[in-house]
Structures are given as C-alpha cells and as structure tokens.
Structure 1
Amino acid sequence: MSPSRDTAVPSSPVTADDLDRAVQLSVAVLRQAPPAAWQGTAGSLEWDCWETVEHLSDDLFAYAAQLGPRKPPLDGLVPFVWESRRPGGPANAVHADRAAGPAGLLQVLEASGALLVAMVRTTPPEVRAHHVFGVSDAAGFAAMGLVETLVHTHDLAEGLGLAWEPPAELCTRVLGRLFPDVPLDADPWLTLLWATGRAALPGRPRRTSWRWDATVRR
C-alpha cells in the first residue's frame, strides 16, 4: 500500500534539471506526431494541438520573464502583450511561425523551456516574483513550468494519438511543491492528472475546478 500524505517522506525540491528533463521528454514524444494531426483538438482543451504547444511555450517563457528583472515584480506580471490569434484561442506573447512547420514549433517549445531552465539555475534562492497563485521563488517557478509541461503534454498526446507517461519522481516532486493538500495514496501521475482536473481517482471524482499553491515552503 502506498504511503499517505501524513506518513510519506517529503519529496525533494523541483530543480532546473527536472524541468529540462521534462521538456526534452515532451519534445521527443511530440516529434512522433504526424504533420496532419496538429490541427486536432488537444485532449479536453478547446485549443488545437499547435495552439497548445504555443501556450505551453508561452508559459515557460513568461515564468522565465518573471524572474528576469533585477527586482522582479511582486504585484503583477512583467507587462508583455499577450494576445490571441483567433477568438477563443490562447492569449500568448509567444507565437510560432507556421511556415516553419511542426519542427519549428517544437524548437520554440525547447527554446522557451531552456530560458526557464537557465533562469532557475541562475536566480538566487532568496529572489521572489509574482504569480497569480502566490508569490514564488525560482524552485517554485521550476515546479510550475514542470506541471505545465507534464499535463499539457498529456493533453497533446491525447490529441495526437501518442503515449505519454512521465517519470513518477517528477510527478511526486510537483505534487509535493504545488499541491500539498492532495492525497499520496495513488499513482503519482494519475494523482497529478486528478489534481489538475484531467482524471478521476478511486473514490474521488474528476475535479471541475482546481489551482496550485505557488507560495514558498520551508
């Protein structure tokens, strides 16, 4: 039987290496998608698969940008312009050139991930920056980039007809940092999907609303 939240050994912090690993695993899986599949819907989202990769890339870029100023903002976002390319599409600062095709799209994802990895590695641990789910540190932004990568790759894999199951230890570390109230008596990947409203757990229906806690923990 898996340990409960009360008895489990605390997970180790999310690191830049964890995020880099997740992005590289994601890109490797997504490269298997046939070119014609990118216009299909990404899982339960309202966006197509191309837009979802742009959204994920934008998340990673935006998290890096929040840590970028000498004095990061504590009460709002660095004021880039985020805009949708169509009604109902994701509002992004990052958009991939469609003429570059899926290979170019995945380069955008990889580059955005590398920006956040670099910022997490070089930002002092005492630095704090705003996020709507709580003022956070570099390890927190790494965790947020990691959960975005894991769950949006799940959405994409559903839409593209690919298999995706990330390493359990990455899921455990994300749960420990961002979802401290969720149970740990089930598979970590399934628990992360439940925590983000994408699956049910035994005895626990699928969530219709959710959020993580980005605040710094000691």
Structure 2
Amino acid sequence: MDAITSTRTSDAQDILDSARWFTDLLLTATTEELDVPAGDVEWSCWRTAEHVGDDMLAYALQLAAQAPDDYLPLTAADGGDDVVRVAATAGTQGLATTVQALAALLAAQVGTAGPDARAFHPHGVSDPTGFAAMGVVEILVHGYDVAQGLGADIGPGRPHALPAGPAERAVDRLFDEAPATRPEASLLWCTGRIALPGVPRRSRWRWDSSVR
C-alpha cells in the first residue's frame, strides 16, 4: 500500500475539491433518501450535510475574526450550536448548493488570510493551513458517513471514490499517528470510522490543529 508522502499542504483548492465530491454524492439521492441515518452517527444524512455546512461557516468566521480564545458567540434559533439549516422544500439541489457555497466561503478565507493568521479551535489554535485541513476532514469523513447511509460505494476506482489527495494532505497536517496506508483509509481510521488489517477501529480520537 502507498504511504503518505505529499509535500503540498492543505489549501483552498482541497476544500473546493472535497466539497464538489460531497455535493456530487448528495445529488445522487432524493430528499427522502437523505432522511436515513448517516452511518454510525446520530444524525440523518440530511442533517449531517447541514452540519458540514455549519463547520464551513464556523471555520471561515473564525479565520475572518482571527478569534484567539473561543468560537464566535453565535447561537442557533433553537439554542443549539449549529446555525445552518436548509429548508427541506429546497430539495437535494438546495442542500448541495448551500454546502458548496459555505465551503467556497471557507476556501476564500483560507486563500486570503495571511500565513500568520491564527484562530481558536478546541484542539489547538490554528492557521489557514490547519483550518483548510479541518474543513477537508469534516467534508470527507461526514461524506463517508452519508455514503454509508445511502449504501454508496466510495472505494478506489468507483465513480464517487473518496478523493485521495485532499485526504492525504489533511491527515498529514492533523494526525501525527496516521498509519502508512492508502490516504483515504488512513483518514477513516484516524477518525474512528474503520479498522485496518491488524489495527482495531478507534473508539476515541482527536486531531491536533495547533501550528507546528
């Protein structure tokens, strides 16, 4: 199997490429089909996609504000943490367009923030490269969850194969303990989604977004 060897770091293009992959996956389903559980997570596929959009918005705002100590004090209408909700009447196209737009917002912020920009994340104050990597992980890993819910095959060589390049660079930035295997498999192992040969599935995990 191929080890992780990339020298390029996570960037705005990785966010856009990951979001395009995810929204293409979403567009294979109807609104009703997205109402099923997303793999092992507690949300439906639709709600999981909303959560991805919310992460894109939160990360973009963190970088824009260069908030050093906490998340910006935004609150959803229901009092929860996630502010992004997409009307079911908008259908899958509306959901996909919203997620794509919010990912583009994060990509724009990553692309314009200077290398010295810093902002809070609970797993380590981070820089634009770190926020790009975190955005990619949120998209790809929750995209995997949605694919599990839809029964979609995202393995290598498949039409909706999880993109290896963005996965590789995000793992390299955030997970020092990543195993030397295919980037997609490494990402899914690091985030507790799968086991690897001889390596059990993780029950607890976290990334390190600190600047290093």
Question: TM-score, with normalisation over the residues of structure 1?
Answer: 0.89
- Given that residues 22 and 143 in structure 2 are in contact (C-alpha distance below 8 angstroms), is that contact kept between their aligned partners in structure 1? yes
1:40 partner amino acid: V
Q: Which residue does 2:158 correspond to in 1?
A: none
Say yes or no: does 1:77 pair with 2:71: yes
Q: Which residue does 2:117 correspond to in 1?
A: 127
1:84-126: CA deviation from partner (whole Å, max 9, x where unpaired): 58xxxx8411111222122111111111101101100110110
Say yes or no: does 1:105 pair with 2:99: no
- 1:198, distance to aligned residue in structure 2 (A): 0.3
Q: Which runs of 4+ in 1 moved over 3 A?
A: 8-11, 82-85
For 2:149, which of 153, 156, 159 is the aligned residue?
A: 159
Tell me how far apart the structure 2 counterparts of residues 82 and 197 of structure 1 sit (CA, whole Å).
28
- Given that residues 11 and 172 in structure 1 are in contact (C-alpha distance below 8 angstroms), is that contact kept between their aligned partners in structure 2? no
2:54 partner amino acid: D
Say yes or no: does 1:147 pair with 2:143: no
1:54 partner amino acid: E
For 2:126, which of 110, 131, 136 is the aligned residue?
A: 136
- Given that residues 116 and 127 in structure 2 are in contact (C-alpha distance below 8 angstroms), is that contact kept between their aligned partners in structure 1? yes
Say yes or no: does 1:187 pair with 2:187: no
For 1:48, which of 44, 48, 54 is the aligned residue?
A: 44
Tell me how far apart the structure 1 counterparts of residues 8 and 165 of structure 2 sit (CA, whole Å).
9
Report percent identity of matched pairs.
42
Q: Report the aligned-residue RMSD.
A: 1.7
- 1:29, distance to aligned residue in structure 2 (A): 1.7
1:158-215: CA deviation from partner (whole Å, max 9, x where unpaired): 112223232222221111100022221x221111111000000111100000000001
1:131-173: CA deviation from partner (whole Å, max 9, x where unpaired): 0110000111000000111110000011122232322222211
For 1:171, which of 156, 167, 173 is the aligned residue?
A: 167
Q: Which residue does 1:29 correspond to in 2?
A: 25
Tell me how far apart the structure 1 counterparts of residues 125 and 59 of structure 2 sit (CA, whole Å).
12
- 1:30, distance to aligned residue in structure 2 (A): 1.3
Tell me how far apart the structure 1 counterparts of residues 63 and 22 of structure 2 sit (CA, whole Å).
23
When the two structures are aligned, how many residues end up with a matched partner?
206
Tell me how far apart the structure 2 counterparts of residues 74 and 43 of structure 1 sit (CA, whole Å).
34
Tell me how far apart the structure 2 counterparts of residues 105 and 53 of structure 1 sit (CA, whole Å).
8
Q: Which residue does 1:96 correspond to in 2?
A: 86
Question: TM-score, with normalisation over the residues of structure 2?
Answer: 0.91
Q: Which residue does 1:214 correspond to in 2?
A: 209
